[in-house]
Structure formats: C-alpha cells, structure tokens
A and B are shown apart, each in its own frame.
Chain A
C-alpha cells in the first residue's frame, strides 16, 4: 500500500463547524476549557455570540446544550472523550437523550469529542477513553459515530447538523491516514465496504480501518480474500451489510481501540448472532486499561492490546479455521 496521507481531525472539524455556522444561524458551539485543543475556538472567533465556553464543567456543558437545543438551536458540544461520557452520562441521558418533544426522539445536541481510545498516548490511562462506545450506545435515542479519517469527520459533522436528534462522534487525537475518497457518501446506519472479499470480513472503525486495509493486502499475498468494512456508524449499526458479510465470507474479525466489552465488536456480534451467526473474533483492549506512551511509542501501546494489522492477519486465519 502507498504511504498514507496523514491529516488532522480536529482541524477538519473546526472547518466544518465554521462552514455550518455560515449556512445555519442556529448552529452554536460549546466547549469546556478545551476549545483551543478541539479547535472549536475558530468558530468562536467567527461567531462570538454563538460560542460558549462553560469552563471545566462537563455536566454543565451537556445540560446547557440541552437548554439551547430545546429552544431551537443546534448545539455542538465538544471536549475530550474521557470527560464527556465518562463524567456526564447522567446529563447525557436525562437532559439530552431522554427529553423528547412531541414527535421527536431526544434533544438536538451533537456531542463531538476528541482524544478517543488508546492512541491518546502520553497522557496515560486516565485519559484513554475505552468505554465510551459501550456507555453511549446503550442510551436510547442516541446515535454513535467513529470516523476513520478527516473526510468522514467533515461529512459526518454536516450530516449531524442536518439530521435531527442527539449524536455522539469520537475523533482520534493524532493525525489519521486518509482512507476515503472525497466522493464517499456517508449515511447514518450504513457501513462502507472499502474492499470486497469472500473468505473473511474485517469490521473496523476509526484508526483501525487503515490497519484492516493493510491486513487485507497481507492476506491477499497468502491467497485469502478479505472484505473490509468501515463501521463508522456503530449505532444504528448496519445489520444488512453485516448479515451479507457473514453469509458471503463466513467469519468476521472486529478491531477497535475500545474495550472489547460493549464496543463496536460487541455491536457487530449482537447483530450477526441474530441474523446469521458465524465465528467472530474481537480485537481491542482486553478488558484492561491503557497507559502512557510517547507519540512514537503509541504503536507499541496498540500492539500490547493486539491492535495491529499483523494481529488482524493472525486472527483472520484462526477464525477461518472455526468456520461452520
């Protein structure tokens, strides 16, 4: 594979917000003392009366957004992943997801966080959110996205602004490789088949998508045809595409930088076990916390948890042997 083009998700998010701000006067942005880091401060410079920094107060961030949303605004509330679902889950549930105006489901708040998963690196285990997908996807009315690259970030940001209801989108801290083309279409609840294959499927999200594509290349050299799915929409999950993959390839490996309990892998397993059960192997944090790793050591940290293309190759081979 070619050397990837690395781009920054937060910069792309910032650009997308400013564009939305120009298009729609109801878009407002809220932050919690991480607005320079999240790069939402750019929106604040452009639209100072639609930008609110509530300080280091995540509960307040969430509920203030709810009040704005119920009054017709479209709030984007952003901070680090570790501080939002982990800290303010009650407010996310009771002030945003639960309250439903007549004919609607939940309030129109968009949670967009950065620094998801283990690849946060040097800040250590206290800052590596590996439980957020599990926390967020069990809350009714809430939809959950993990974009794989900046193209996804840009398109999903715009999608969320135009689709009513609460969303949670988790970005990575470090620059990420481009895996999508500019023309790629994104729809809520629709997985993207990045590579076709007939012997096995790797379902990935976020930073593991590029790894899955690399793994598929390696498997190809061994004569194994591997399908690669970008499950950016973890909730709702694309049951149709997953069932098709199970039926046509007979086994699935999932990979994510999240605890294997409750994450994307669990969501895939739940779906396939009801539609077309096949052997599944989940790659991710094996129910253990992360730890500090300098930027150049992040691959080592991921490797410790088995989040590499080589492990994907290994797991594909193993799971194929269990095919029914």
Chain B
C-alpha cells in the first residue's frame, strides 16, 4: 500500500482495536501475541507486502506466513483493515460457520498458512520460497515465528534448509516477547540465558545476555536485531532484508506481549485470554492515548547538530523535531533542507520537519527529498490552494502531512476540509522563532475549543504540543489532548537526554492513568475502578495506580 509512518501507525491502532473487539466477542483468543507483533504486521501490510484483496490468489503476490498461528486475531484484524473483508466480520471470530477460525486457515481467502501446530511455519515458508526460485518469481515470503515455538526442533531443521538452499526471498521475524503459555520463555526453555528471578526486566536491562541472534547467525542467516515496536526500525530492517542476496534474513524483534495496554504488557496471563466487556471501553481509550516524545534539536548545540541527533537516538526519542526557520516568517534563522539531508544518514528515527518559512510550497519538494517523514507547514503562510498542493505532494511521496497554527491563530475555515487527512496538527504554545520561552497558558482553553472542532471534522492524527513543554505542564497538556510532545530545553538541554525523556514519559503515563481511572469510574463506579486496578499485576504498576486513585478520591 505504501503508506507513510503516521498512516501505518493509524492502521496499527485500528487493527489493535479490532483485536480487542474480536476476542471480546468470541470470549477467547490471543490478544497478547497479537499485540506483540502489531507493528511488524503493520509495516508489512501497509508498506511492503504486494497483495490484492480482490484477488487473494494473485500468483505474484508476496506471501505472509503466520507461524505463531494463535495470534490469528492480529492477522485477521490487519486483513480487515487492508480490505480483504469488512471489519464487522471480526465479530464472527471463532464462531461456528465463520471463515475466521481460531487459528489462521486457508478457508479465509488471503490466509497463506493453516497455523495452530507450532514450529512448522518456517519449513512451509522455505517450501514456498523454493517454489518461487524454481519458477523465477520475484515474490517475497515474510514469516513471523514466536520465541515460544522456537522450542520446536523443526524450526532449526528449517533454519538449516533455508541456509542450504540460499532462499534470499525469505525474511523471518522472530517475535521475541519473552512469554509463552506457561510463563517466561527463559524459565520454560531459555533461548538466551536462563532467567534466575521472576523479574523479566532483568532480561531487558542487559543486552549482552541476548544470544538468540548468535544462534541464527551460526545457522548461516543474515541477522538484524531491532526494537519490534518501532515502525521505523522494522521498516529499515525489511528494506535491508529485501536487498540482501544469497542468504535468508532473520529479524530478531524485541517485543512486549500485550504491547500498548499496561495491564496486558509482559503479563503471561494475557497469552490466551479475552478482555471482559466492561473493560473494553477503557482499553480502547488507552489505545487512543498512545503518545510520542521528540526532542527539538535546535535547543541543543547548533554548531554540532550531528551530535544532538546521536543524543536523541541514545536517549530513545520517538522521533526528532527539526525546526526550520528562514529569518523571514520568524526572526531567527536555523538550518534548511541541506542540513536535514546531512543528518538523515545518522539515524532511522522519523524526522518531523517543522517549516517556519515563507512560501512553503516553493520549498516543500526539497524537504521531501531531504528525507523528512512528516512536513508541517503553517496556516499563516498557506491558503486553500497552496496547502492543497502541498498536501497532495506529501501524500504522493509517502510523507506525513502536518499543519501548524501560532498561538494567536485559529484554524482557518478553508482548512477544515483537510482535517480528516492530516497526520499532525501543531498547536504552538509559544511564539515561534526562538527557544527558551514559557508555555502560554491560554493554550489550554484553545485546546478545548479545538478538540470540538477536530472531532466534528474527523481528525485522526496526532496533536503535537510544541513550545514550553516541560515536566510541570506535560500532564495537563496530555489531558488537553496532545499526543506528541516536543521538548526543547527540557529534553535536549539536559545532560542526560534518556533520563529526561523517561521523566517525560512517566509524567504523561501518570496523566493517562488519571484519565483511565476517571473513565472507569464514569462507566462502572468504584467497582470497575477496583477491577481495572486489579488487572495490573506485573511490576509496580498497581501500587502506582493505587496512589493516583487515592489522590483522585477513588480509594
């Protein structure tokens, strides 16, 4: 389909919601493993896979083999989003007479492999890859295997066969979520190193303990190791795998079972259990409240932006905000597309180019070519015609579309028709042009006004808060509806970028928990509040949420 970063994320969110709906309706199913591979499937379906939902047997299509078949709800949800069948059909999951069986089945056109018996999908994929070679087809086989099923000896039989026959038309993802049915993988059958305690975070902390990649390397595979929830890393890994010749590729993807829902994350109980109906609306709200944090590098050392980019990467920023100022639209001048192009090779992190320049239509092409993932232009210097052209150009080039308004600007009426296809709206909370300003408090009121307008016009992108966002106000900015946060001095100005970003996340998370507690209370009173809190059994989450609940007067 070739969608941009933001559209891919949007579809992933849609698919996650469908997983919840489907498993809840069915009363059983596997949400945990569906969520750990959600970003992998999203990248495949909406960017790389060649397929035609109207002609599922198209012989040149790429093949997607879900070896860990129990994650069927994840596969079916994405197939629905991709257009194979209506989303409403997910309500038939696991029901008598449905083509959406408990495990993926050829009964459902578009499904390539009958999953269910673990450890067999890789051999099957090798067979498909070999057939492609015999017929000189250029289709690619993408396969997702689980870490639990890697206990099966057949996985390693297939690993040897794939290397022997050099099936470079095969790319495999290991959904390394560390959990299998009984418990943590490292307790049941260690792939890396035996887990000595009950604390899975012990495994996460120390990358030197990771041995799974070495296993695959020793089997003769091209191995790439990534964070399996980072769309940009998955994207880059697939691109690399697709151009690797002579060997199959294994992308070891570190993932979190139940990712995106706090009470499901890292919790073995959610391997194969459906959420209760009363909790579903809270879960959906949590899914709608995913957020991203980005440093703005102009707040750092302007004479060494390369180093600032590196600090963002090491600090695990979600993306990098690039403030382009031309000295005309705003008094200051920063850098232009040539600098962005130079920085592009340093990282795969998405580049959010915020053009504070006059006549953006004249220059937008340069910023596309420089490698921006999203380009934001200002309402003050565009009109219906020029923005329309910019909008179309960006969409055609798989670049996200952003629109920005200054503190004293309202959304112009001409822009309403674009709202539903915007990937991002920047609501400036300082006067653009220089860093180090204070957050303008009136923005809170403005946000309330905007939210109504955006809702009426079906906005489904990110609201980005830009200007004066810090640890003190980020919680309230989240409560206003912002889901992307740009930090200047408060992040990049700090010695330890990683700690600063972690603190930002903690604050937003706390604000999100408040929001969800309020939702639980609104829907089911104290009983549901208690039930929801009780679901958080892994780590220190429950204690933290209880503290917030006490402050809110629920406990």
Contacts and interface: CB of A to CB of B under 8 A. Distances in A.
A pairs with B: yes
B61 to A, nearest CB: 11
Contact of A60 (B106, B130, B133, B158): B158
A63 B124 contact: yes
Main DSSP-derived SS at the A contact region: helix
Nearest to B104: A99
B123 A63 contact: yes
B127 A70 contact: yes
Given A50-B134, A67-B126, A95 B114 contact: yes
A91 interface: yes
Contacts of B131: 67-68, 71-73
Interface in B320-369: none
B102 to A, nearest CB: 13
B128 to A, nearest CB: 4
B129 to A, nearest CB: 8
A7 interface: no
A73 B132 CA distance: 10
A67 B123 contact: yes
Given A52-B165, A99-B114, A57 B154 contact: yes
A311 to B, nearest CB: 42
Contacts of B107: 100, 102
A314 to B, nearest CB: 46
Contact of A67 (B106, B116, B128): B128
Interface in B93-135: 105-107, 109, 112-114, 116-117, 120, 123-135
Main DSSP-derived SS at the B contact region:
helix
A59 interface: yes
Given A59-B154, A60-B123, A63-B120, A71 B165 contact: no
A66 B127 contact: yes
Contacts of B116: 94
B126 to A, nearest CB: 5
Contacts of B521: none
Given A59-B154, A59-B157, A60-B161, A95 B120 contact: yes
Interface in B130-167: 130-135, 153-154, 157-158, 160-161, 165
Nearest to B63: A71
Nearest to A65: B127
Given A50-B134, A68-B131, A100 B120 contact: no
B160 A55 contact: yes
Contacts of B105: 99
Contacts of A94: 114, 116-117, 120
Contacts of B133: 49
Contact of B130 (A62, A63, A64, A101): A64
Contacts of A60: 123, 154, 157-158, 161
A69 interface: yes
Interface residues of B, number: 31
A67 B117 contact: no
A78 B533 CA distance: 57
A78 B130 CA distance: 18
B74 to A, nearest CB: 20
A187 interface: no
A65 B158 CA distance: 12
Contact of B117 (A69, A95, A102): A95
B117 A71 contact: no
A111 B134 CA distance: 21
Contacts of A224: none
Contacts of B157: 54-55, 57, 59-60
Choose among A49, A71, A75 the residue with the greatest number of B CB atoms under 10 Å from its CB.
A71
Interface string A28-54: 100000000000000000000110101
Contact of A69 (B109, B123, B127): B127
Interface in B65-109: 105-107, 109
Interface in B163-178: 165
B206 to A, nearest CB: 34
Contacts of A75: 127
Interface string B440-471: 00000000000000000000000000000000
A64 B123 CA distance: 5
Nearest to A28: B134
Interface of B: 59, 105-107, 109, 112-114, 116-117, 120, 123-135, 153-154, 157-158, 160-161, 165
